[in-house]
Amino acid sequence: MPLNAASAELMTTMAAMGVPPIAESTPDDVRAVLEVLRALSPPGPDMARVSDVVVDTPDGGTFTVRVLVPHGDVRGVMVYYHGGGWVIGSIEGHDAIARKLADVTGYAIVNVDYRLAPEHPYPTSVEDATTAFEWAAANLDVILGGDASTDVPLVVAGDSAGGNLATVVARRMRDRGGPSIAMQVLIYPVTDSDTETASYLDPENQLFIARDTMLWFFGYYIPDAAQRDEPDVSPLQIDDLSGLPPAFVLTAEYDPLRDEGEAYAERLRDSGVPTTLVRLDGEMHGFFSMVTMPGHEVAVDEIAAAMRSGIPA
């Protein structure tokens, strides 16, 4: 179907404003634009409790997680990794999104402010993502308050590069015998470094995120191209995907990453992993992080429905 009217209007507005493409900007320039856009976005739902926690890393650094606990009975904990090509994005920029997820799913959200490239190139974000999940699993009492049950469902989730990090954490926990993950929620995830797929090359998909944008991200995140086929970057190329948590995979029609997301979902299914794949037609990459877009509401509802049906109460 045609690109939806809201996305088409956004692209027209950005062009009229003279906003340069990401691939023609510096990371600091793009981060500054995102801060302006964030200030224009509506806040998310009110929470019962919000707290920022500084987490220490094995390499002597730190990063912050924002814990968002919704009102009412809390069903579980979701560790969420924001998108942004491992170069841009923040928990502030994804605060309204995380609040909406908490409100609709009934899960406490641990929104992870993992360290970004180029200041902290690969594999820093991967290690931070793993540390964040392990912190959440070990601190359920801090997240939920009181004596939290050890059988609280844990979910890993993320959009785009954050979806990539969620896949890595799910596989690492499988391989390391780590805490059990009830579901992985992957929103148009990066699952491969191959930028020659049909969806990457389709002229209609060169919108908010284009092929040259992804090459820009890869260049800052993983300057050594030889590392881009490693499992922690390109999970689609992993031989064994069996034994991973049930997955919900959401893709967008007008998205360079569409083919690899859908291919990953098929690989999971072929490996015996219960997997739900939903493609939102008429949407472009990045729509989920735009809370005023109609597709955002649809996606949140799809995620909540998948979690209700796929995770035992």
Residues noted as catalytic: 160, 255, 285
Helices (H), 90-208: 95-105, 124-138, 140-144, 161-176, 198-201
278/101 Cα distance (integer angstroms): 17
61/59 Cα distance (integer angstroms): 6
Cα four-point dihedral sign 256, 271, 279, 301? negative
Q: Phi/psi of residue 125, each to 5°?
A: -65, -35
Residues 6+ apart with CB under 8 A from 3: 204, 207, 254, 282, 284
Per-residue CA distances from 46 to 71, 79, 144, 257 (Å)? 8, 19, 16, 33
